[in-house]
């Protein structure tokens, strides 16, 4: 027993000295606390499944239909449908349309740069009042109906240069619903 006690004392001394020799001493300091705050909100509406990943076909437009900067194609209408709307949570919504802004005309979305892309043109979105929707900017609030609300929009090409070159003319726009 005495032999074990001496052996244990030597072992603990070696461990203490080795950590001192290596220079690794640990100091624990009370650093304080971090408090998290937040809440989980109920959405006023949800986006219907058929509106979540729509493909809006703007058609095939001949490049010679554009006659200078600002010339336009025909507007193509589309609808975003909201469902399960609860006016007790919010009675109006707004959409934030996020995408790549055209470098020549900041009011429209840029065409995706890909092999065989069109050039000299961008895509404009319009709200149901026929106002252009500025990319990445807040839009007007729209009053919602209980249960279902349909929001009508339209899209068209707008020439950004005097000469439009034909090719793929696609854009992707992410829409975010904002509640008031």
Interval 130-148 mean pLDDT: 87
Q: What is the pLDDT of residue 7?
A: 47
Looking at per-residue pLDDT, the higher value among 90 and 79 belongs to 79
Reply yes or no on whether the pLDDT at 11 is more than 50: no
Percentage of the chain surpassing pLDDT 90?
50
Pull the structure tokens for residue 123.
Answer: 């895509």
Mean pLDDT value across the chain: 85
DSSP-derived letter for residue 119 is B
Looking at per-residue pLDDT, the higher value among 2 and 91 belongs to 91
Looking at per-residue pLDDT, the higher value among 48 and 18 belongs to 48
Of the candidates 167, 156, 59, which has an alpha carbon nearest to the alpha carbon of residue 113?
A: 167
CB of 102 closer than 8 Å to CB of 120: no
Q: Which residue has the tokens 């990943």?
A: 53
With b meaning 16 or more CB within 10 Å and e meaning fewer, what string describes 92-112? ebebebebbbbeebeebbbbe
Reply yes or no on whether the pLDDT at 21 is more than 80: no
* Domain covering 46-179, topology: Immunoglobulin-like (2.60.40)
Interval 91-115 mean pLDDT: 92
Distance CA 177, CA 180 (A): 10
Question: Distances from the Cα of 82 to the Cαs of 7, 55, 150, 155, 172, in angstroms?
Answer: 77, 17, 6, 19, 20
Question: Distances from the Cα of 33 to the Cαs of 28, 30, 36, in angstroms?
Answer: 15, 9, 10
Looking at per-residue pLDDT, the higher value among 45 and 70 belongs to 70
Interval 44-59 mean pLDDT: 90
Question: Distances from the Cα of 148 to the Cαs of 38, 145, 154, 180, in angstroms?
Answer: 29, 6, 20, 17
Question: Distances from the Cα of 56 to the Cαs of 38, 77, 141, in angstroms?
Answer: 38, 8, 23
Pull the structure tokens for residue 169.
Answer: 């003319």
Q: Which residue has the tokens 């500025």?
A: 134
Interval 102-117 mean pLDDT: 94
Pull the structure tokens for residue 39.
Answer: 């809440």
Reply yes or no on whether the pLDDT at 65 is more than 50: yes
Q: What is the pLDDT of residue 18?
A: 52
Q: Count CB-CB contacts under 10 A for residue 153.
A: 19
Highest mean pLDDT among 38-52, 98-112, 139-153, 166-180: 98-112
């Amino acid at each position: 027993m005495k032999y074990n006690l001496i052996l244990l004392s030597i072992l603990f001394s070696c461990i203490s000295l080795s950590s001192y020799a290596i220079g690794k001493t640990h100091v624990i300091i009370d650093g304080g606390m971090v408090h998290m705050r937040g809440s989980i909100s109920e959405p006023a509406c949800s986006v219907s499944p058929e509106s979540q990943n729509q493909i809006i076909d703007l058609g095939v437009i001949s490049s010679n239909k554009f006659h200078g900067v600002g010339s336009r194609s025909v507007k193509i209408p589309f609808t975003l449908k909201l469902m399960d709307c609860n006016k007790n949570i919010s009675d109006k919504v707004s959409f934030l349309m996020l995408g790549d802004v055209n470098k020549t005309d900041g009011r429209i979305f840029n065409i995706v740069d890909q092999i065989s892309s069109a050039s000299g043109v961008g895509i404009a979105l319009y709200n149901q009042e026929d106002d252009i929707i500025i990319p990445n900017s807040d839009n007007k609030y729209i009053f919602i109906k209980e249960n279902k609300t349909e929001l009508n929009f339209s899209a068209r090409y707008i020439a950004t240069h005097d000469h439009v070159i034909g090719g793929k003319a696609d854009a992707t726009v992410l829409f975010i619903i904002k509640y008031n």
